Amino acid sequence: MLKIGLTGGIGSGKTSVSDLFEAISVPVIDADIIAHKLVNDDSKILQEIINTFGQDILNINGKLNRKKLAQIIFNVKKNKQQLENILHPKIQQEISNQLDNLTSSKNPPSYVIITVPLLIEVGYSDFVDRILIVISDENKRINRIQNRDGRSLNEIHSIISNQVSDKKRQENADDIIENNGSINLLNSQIQKLHKKYLHLSASIK
């Protein structure tokens, strides 16, 4: 089973890409979904985050206020590292578990997409056989983030500046998707990669 690591900067369109792969029955393992589930379902992890960053990161209902936490971690590099130290070992373990389940299933898929926003920064490359990155013009990324999250320009620029550049991502990439046009243009790139990955997976069986 070929393992494709999907990554890209905030607002680049990773979710759109993974949705299109899922639409053609390719399994997707999403590190962000795993992280959300861990924080929501594992009280020990949430308590560790509270102990590290304080009660101010909670909503009135006691749930994690992700916007407040994002402001804290993207304004201070040390805070970002602390959160990664709490979450990423557990995320990596869950990714491994899901990969094992796919591999041992009755009909293992030819390949799987593993979506990790910080794949290059945090060193998830050991999990994957190839790295697929999504790139997009910065103005388009900013518009998507504003429409999706309602963040201020200052917040968006802070997040982008704390992530590796597209140039750095491209240096590590095996495949690149450009997401500056229509959904049809995006889908045509997915279809080409799908054929490529099926061919590659057949060669490693």
CA distance 53 to 195: 46
For 35-92, how does the pLDDT look when each residue is reduced to its tens digit (9 = 90+)?
989 888 878 898 899 999 888 888 888 788 888 888 788 777 788 889 888 998 999 9
Q: Examine residue 159 and state whether it is found in any structural domain, yes or no.
A: yes
For 132-174, how does the pLDDT look when each residue is reduced to its tens digit (9 = 90+)?
999 999 999 999 999 888 888 888 888 888 888 889 899 999 9
User: Tell me, what's the pLDDT at 131?
Assistant: 96
User: Tell me, what's the pLDDT at 114?
Assistant: 97
Q: How many domains does the chain have?
A: 1
b/e per residue 39-60 (b: at least 16 CB within 10 A): beeeeebbebbeeebeeebbee
Global pTM value? 0.89
Q: Examine residue 85 and state whether it is found in any structural domain, yes or no.
A: yes
User: Tell me, what's the pLDDT at 71?
Assistant: 79
Q: Examine residue 83 and state whether it is found in any structural domain, yes or no.
A: yes
Could you say which DSSP state residue 164 is in?
P
Distances (CA, A) of 13 to 16, 52, 71, 144, 196: 5, 31, 22, 9, 21
Asked whether residue 130 carries a pLDDT value surpassing 90, the answer given is: yes
Q: Examine residue 164 and state whether it is found in any structural domain, yes or no.
A: yes
Asked whether residue 195 carries a pLDDT value surpassing 80, the answer given is: yes
For 94-107, how does the pLDDT look when each residue is reduced to its tens digit (9 = 90+)?
999 999 999 999 99
Q: Examine residue 205 and state whether it is found in any structural domain, yes or no.
A: no
Q: Which CATH number does the domain housing residue 106 bear?
A: 3.40.50.300
User: Tell me, what's the pLDDT at 41?
Assistant: 80
Q: Under 8 Å CB-to-CB from 11, ≥6 apart: which residues? A: 136, 140, 141, 142, 143, 144, 145, 148, 156
CA distance 91 to 14: 18
Rg (CA), the chain: 18
Query: How many CA atoms, within 13 angstroms, populate the side-chain half-sphere of residue 115?
Result: 25
The number of residues in the chain equals: 205
CA 37 remoteness from chain centre: 14
**H-helix segments, 56-165:** 66-75, 77-103, 119-122, 138-149, 153-161
Q: Which domain holds residue 45?
A: 2-200
Q: Examine residue 166 and state whether it is found in any structural domain, yes or no.
A: yes
More confident residue, 58 or 124: 58
Asked whether residue 205 carries a pLDDT value surpassing 70, the answer given is: no
